[in-house]
């Protein structure tokens, strides 16, 4: 009789069927040509069944400990349930119980990408809204920079995958691949740029002014009429290279000073309509999880996407400023939806 070590799945199924037909273990062993002891061991193990799981008594949480957990959760955003309970010196609580307790008082959320607004920020945003409430925003040039990478923002490569198909594997790079810094502006229904910052150039006050001289002033601003230049208001955010004394003095020599240079409140990307233009361009160049193999190819994609943005889209963005100002005042300086 064969002396095999383990029973196959097919043999186990036959044993169960023969037992149901009333065969003895000895007869089954002869039918399967297996050792009688192997058959008996399988039958005995099957009849024993699984041991019942005895649940350990859960640790009870007092009302005082619940208050401590709630305070700790407020002080430690994004902390794990274990870290929160350990900070309260509460031990012996299983993860399922910790999570159930925290669900009654908190939510699992991602970290906010926008900087938090303090009382001073909110007051300055309200003052800014009141100052420019009666401004003709069709005469404001909204400017900003955007950095684009070869792979796009994390988590964007998502979509429907057919049944039986594998999700595409993204390219992996040893050193990240770098990116391209892009500057552009929008005014009324017109797009200014985009212009590419030279690779490897760090924008400080001097290089920023030189960049504006070589691109914005020489290629766009000097072609405009004197009446246009007289009425145009230049907007830029409070980046160090923008708001420095050097840059402010340089722009003043170009005729952009006082009321022609818009003051900008802190922490206010939601008030700049060009941020929405960046979203439109990024959605286009990174659609379907698109990746790029060179900086020149991603720059060409940015230029192509910018060319596809029509005047009506830009006019919609610049025309939204009255509503944004009213929203800031209604929210007492708080963030508005973009």
Beta-carbon-side half-sphere exposure of residue 205 (alpha carbons within 13 Å): 11
| CA–CA gap between residue 2 and residue 15 (Å, rounded) | 16
Domain locations in the chain? Answer: 9-44, 63-105, 119-155+176-331
Bridge partners, 141 (sequence order): 234
Token duo for residue 244: 């420095």
Dihedral Cα 274, 206, 215, 232, nearest 10 deg: 60
Contact between 334 and 265 under an 8 Å Cβ cutoff? The reply is no
pLDDT at 148: 93
What does the pLDDT read at residue 209? 97
Distance (Å, whole) CA 222 – CA 210: 15
Number of Cβ within a 10 Å radius of residue 215: 19
Low-confidence ranges of the chain (pLDDT < 50): 1-2, 156
Instruction: Pick one of 3.40.50.300, 3.20.20.140, 3.30.70.260, 3.30.420.10 as the CATH number of 119-155+176-331.
Output: 3.30.420.10
| pLDDT given for residue 111 in this prediction | 64
What is the reported pLDDT for 1? 45
Spatial distance between the Cα atoms of 31 and 1, rounded to a whole number of angstroms: 11
Summarised one tens digit per residue, pLDDT across range 60-99 is: 788 899 999 888 888 887 788 888 999 999 988 888 888 8
């Amino acid at each position: 009789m064969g002396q095999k070590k383990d029973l196959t799945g097919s043999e186990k199924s036959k044993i169960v069927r023969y037992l149901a037909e009333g065969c003895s273990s000895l007869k089954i062993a002869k039918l399967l040509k297996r050792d009688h002891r192997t058959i008996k061991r399988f039958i005995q193990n099957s009849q024993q069944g699984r041991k019942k799981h005895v649940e350990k008594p859960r640790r009870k949480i007092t009302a005082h400990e619940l208050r401590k957990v709630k305070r700790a959760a407020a002080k430690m955003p994004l902390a794990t349930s274990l870290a929160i309970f350990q900070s309260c010196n509460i031990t012996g609580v299983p993860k399922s119980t910790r999570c159930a307790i925290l669900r009654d008082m908190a939510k699992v959320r991602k970290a906010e990408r926008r900087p938090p607004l303090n009382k001073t920020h909110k007051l300055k945003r309200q003052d800014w809204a009141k100052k420019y409430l009666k401004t003709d925003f069709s005469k404001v040039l909204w400017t900003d920079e955007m950095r684009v990478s070869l792979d796009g923002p994390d988590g964007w490569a998502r979509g429907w995958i057919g049944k039986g198909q594998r999700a595409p594997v993204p390219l992996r790079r040893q050193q990240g691949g770098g990116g391209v810094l892009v500057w552009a502006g929008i005014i009324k229904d017109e797009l200014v740029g985009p212009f590419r910052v030279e690779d490897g150039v760090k924008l400080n006050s001097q290089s920023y002014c030189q960049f504006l001289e070589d691109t914005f002033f020489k290629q766009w601003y000097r072609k405009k009429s004197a009446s246009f230049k007289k009425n145009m208001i230049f907007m830029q955010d409070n980046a160090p290279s923008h708001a420095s004394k050097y840059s402010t003095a340089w722009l003043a020599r170009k005729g952009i000073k006082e009321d022609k240079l818009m003051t900008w409140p802190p922490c206010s990307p939601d008030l700049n309509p060009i941020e929405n233009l960046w979203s439109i361009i990024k959605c286009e160049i990174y659609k379907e999880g698109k990746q790029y193999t060179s900086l020149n190819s991603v720059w060409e994609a940015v230029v192509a996407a910018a060319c596809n943005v029509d005047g009506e889209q830009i006019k919609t963005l610049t025309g939204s400023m009255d509503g944004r100002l009213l929203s800031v005042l209604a929210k007492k300086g708080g963030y508005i939806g973009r």
